[in-house]
Structure 1
Amino acid sequence: MVMFRLKKFLAPLLLSLLLLITACDSAPPSDFQQAQQESTQRGARAVDREAVAGGEFNKFFPRSQAGYEVVYAQEKKGFAEAKLKREGRDVAMLAVSDTVSNPEAAQKFANSTEQIQGYPVVAQGNTATALLVADRFQVKVLSRDPEFTEGDRKTWLGKFDLSGLARLK
């Protein structure tokens, strides 16, 4: 009888002790947790209060034309994106973002040697081309099909209503 009571008492005690020990184990943070910590430590804020609403950008995107269809994909404060489709396939992504939330994004245009409609242009890797409007709005075209070239990206950057975007506050 005493042995039965001891087992009844000992099992929960050992289980509690095991849970306590494993809960105190200091496992390294996951990649997500580490990135979250770093961004929080820098005081980074996802979107600045002054950022333009994403829906405001839609009117400056190129319209569907000659075998190409512009399909709006996403909009949120400070950002809007559309897919450029040809024959039902995604060939490029078109995007406008407000750099007020990320001023470093505008700095990459400082050394630009190329322009479209008077706005500085930079290549971003092998598949993206961007320009900066009014020192604030980044307009970007990203190839999603290998046949959609840098020349195509620049042509589509020129199809945005850049002067209208420059007047946006």
Structure 2
Amino acid sequence: MVAAMLLSVLLLTTACSTKAPSRFDQAQQESSRQTSGQAVAKNATQGSKLNKFFPDEGDGYDRVYVQEKKGFSEANLKKDGKVVAQLAISDTTSTPGVASKYANSTEKIGGYPSVTTGKTQTSVLVGKYQVKAISKDPTFTASDRATWLEKFDLSGLGKLK
């Protein structure tokens, strides 16, 4: 009888207690909060239309598309099966403030204003498109990023409306 009573009390207290949110619940809430209000502009270019401007694979490198959505396309650059860099094109129509960081640029890659962010990212502004190369391995240097940015069809991308 005492055991049944203890079991009843235990069930009652655990059933009525509120469960603390897991770290995944918290991450989801933070992610939702950060992305709210960042809608993609209706006239942003479809990601599938951006793919043709990416550089071809070769010289021991493989290009693997990993994300494609309205206003954005991204590919991993692999060497010997390892991701050494990410290459991306984004339509800045949805984020017009992005273009302002190129206003005072003194560097150019392929004739377009270039910006280096930190030690791992180099980007160029081509019309309304930002083209990025991001090192994911220390062997992929700033010089490699510039070389791969020049391999994009930047002039073709500049003509895309």
TM-score for the superposition, normalised by structure 2: 0.80
Aligned residue pairs, count:
147
Question: Using the alignment, how far apart are the partners of 1:39 and 1:139 within structure 2?
Answer: 22
Aligned partner (choices 138, 160, 168) of residue 160 of structure 2: 168
Give SS of 2:77's match.
strand
Aligned counterpart, 2:102:
109
Aligned counterpart, 1:131:
124
% identical aligned pairs: 54
Displacement over 4 Å in runs of 4+: 34-40
Greater C-alpha radius of gyration: 1
Give SS of 1:107's match.
helix
Give the AA of the match of 2:136.
R
Alignment of 1:13-162 (within 5 A): 30=26, 33=29, 36-37=32-33, 40=36, 44-134=37-127, 136-162=128-154
Summarize the Cα distance change of 1:81–1:37 in structure 2 as closer, same or farther, 3 Å threshold: closer
* Aligned-pair CA distance for 1:148: 0.4
* Aligned-pair CA distance for 1:33: 3.7
TM-score for the superposition, normalised by structure 1: 0.76
Q: Aligned-pair RMSD on alpha carbons?
A: 2.5
What is the CA deviation profile of residues 6-26 of structure 1, one whole-angstrom value per residue up to 9, with x for unaligned ones? Answer: xxxxxxxxx8xx96xx7xxxx
Question: Using the alignment, how far apart are the partners of 1:67 and 1:140 within structure 2?
Answer: 20
